[in-house]
Amino acid sequence: MEMKTTAPGSRVVPAGDAALAAATDALAAGEIVAIPTETVYGLAADATNGEAVARIFAAKQRPSFNPLICHVTGIGMAETFASFDPMSRKLAEAFWPGALTLVLPLKPDHAIHPLVTAGLDTVAVRAPRGFGAELIAALGRPLAAPSANRSGKISATSAQAVTDSLGDAVPLVIDGGPTPVGVESTIVKVEDGAVFLLRPGGVAVEEIEAVAGVQLLRAKANAAIQAPGMLASHYAPSARMRLNASHVDPGEALLAFGPERVTGASDAKAVLVLSESGDLVEAAAKLFDYMGRLDATGAACIAVEPIPMTGLGEAINDRLARAAAPREKQ
């Protein structure tokens, strides 16, 4: 197998059988892999593995946990975790595999990790062409993958652009040559038969309208679905959240971090530790689950121990701040 080392610890392998085997093994072991898709390069992880998904955010240095696109082999795999209304099904049948992403409601008891959806009850799904499609089929599970670039930088359309942007933060990069489409997928969401355009992209609006038989609506009219990550209320538990707590009041639940507990922890209604060892990747993977579990105890307030702002800590603190923000009435 031919290999080029472009940065310490980062392997670039040309797309092919050996790359497929290496990428499948890495993903099955919970690693992240940069892969070519027809739109742009994606930074992929097993969508059912929280720590693997957390590694995506760490590598991209995302300051917040935006929801990611779930990549599937087709409608069959998508239906294991999301439901299709008739219009979404029609669009998937027309454009998959391809550069169209559909935002769909999650099914109950789905296996997608909440870090992928940022805790939303919807999931963005698309079926890519080429190496990505073969890889998902080989792994047998959906892949969460945002564009393979540093957060806030332009999307990578070549393996070189991936390593230039992410350096050795990604252990394995599959080189499939320049991506044919070159811009990200078009994202739409169907609501009661109306099709909202959330992001223009690789499939033209006119092409979608020709299949849908209706005009696309611009999402500006519906800010709630345009930028779900920006809405505090989507993440807010019923309990109040008290951040950077230096003590726990009796009856409060405690979301803890690191080896030591704050004063009063033994009187807390419940304590869940995001990571005993202070590992921010582990903490990110557990965040949404533990917030939900502490909320379910019925505690009126969840005290949260300080979490450092380094690495994924920034994204964790961003999400906690949204959960703690004054609630908007919708």
Interface residue list for Mg ion (CB under 5 A): 147
Rg (CA), the chain: 20
Complete DSSP assignment for 236-258? --SSEEE-S-SB--TT-EEEE-S
Give bridge partners of residue 315 from the DSSP assignment.
none
Q: Is 198 among the residues that bind ligand TXA (CB under 6 A)?
A: yes
**67 contact choice in ligand TXA, Mg ion, none (CB below 5 to 8 Å, kind-dependent):** ligand TXA
Q: Of 6, 61, 64, 66, which one interacts with ligand TXA (CB under 6 A)?
A: 66
**150 contact choice in ligand TXA, Mg ion, none (CB below 5 to 8 Å, kind-dependent):** none
- With H, G, I as helix, E, B as strand and everything else as coil, classify residue 127: coil
Question: Quick one: CA torsion of 214, 218, 223, 229, rounded to 10 degrees?
Answer: 90
**Least CB distance to ligand TXA at residue 251 (A):** 35
Q: Is 23 exposed, middle or buried (0-12, 13-18, 19+ CB in 10 A)?
A: buried
**Least CB distance to ligand TXA at residue 66 (A):** 5
Q: Compare residues 67 and 176 and give the one whose CB is closer to Mg ion.
A: 67
d(C-alpha 13, C-alpha 207), whole Å: 35
**Least CB distance to ligand TXA at residue 117 (A):** 6
- Alpha carbon 214 to its chain centroid, in Å, reads 30
Give bridge partners of residue 166 from the DSSP assignment.
none
Q: Compare residues 19 and 68 and give the one whose CB is closer to ligand TXA.
A: 68
How many residues contact ligand TXA, by CB under 6 A? 24
Q: Of 36, 142, 176, 228, which one interacts with ligand TXA (CB under 6 A)?
A: 228
Q: Compare residues 55 and 269 and give the one whose CB is closer to ligand TXA.
A: 55
**26 contact choice in Mg ion, ligand TXA, none (CB below 5 to 8 Å, kind-dependent):** none
Residue of 317, 35, 9 lying closest to 158 (CA atoms) = 35
DSSP assignment, residue 262?
Answer: P
Let me know: does 66 contact 146? Beta carbons within 8 Å: yes
Q: What residues between 157 and 196 interact with ligand TXA by CB under 6 A?
A: 184-185, 187
Q: Compare residues 102 and 316 and give the one whose CB is closer to ligand TXA.
A: 102
**Least CB distance to ligand TXA at residue 248 (A):** 34
Q: In whole angstroms, how far apart are CA 280 and each of 161, 236, 237, 252?
A: 27, 21, 22, 23
Cis peptide before 237 (omega within 30 of 0): no
Q: What residues between 104 and 143 interact with ligand TXA by CB under 6 A?
A: 117, 120, 122-124
Q: What residues between 17 and 46 interact with ligand TXA by CB under 6 A?
A: 37, 39-40, 42
Residue of 233, 228, 222 lying closest to 68 (CA atoms) = 228
**Least CB distance to ligand TXA at residue 189 (A):** 6
**145 contact choice in ligand TXA, Mg ion, none (CB below 5 to 8 Å, kind-dependent):** ligand TXA
DSSP assignment, residue 96?
Answer: -
Interface with ligand TXA (CB under 6 A): 37, 39-40, 42, 66-69, 101, 103, 117, 120, 122-124, 145-147, 184-185, 187, 198-199, 228
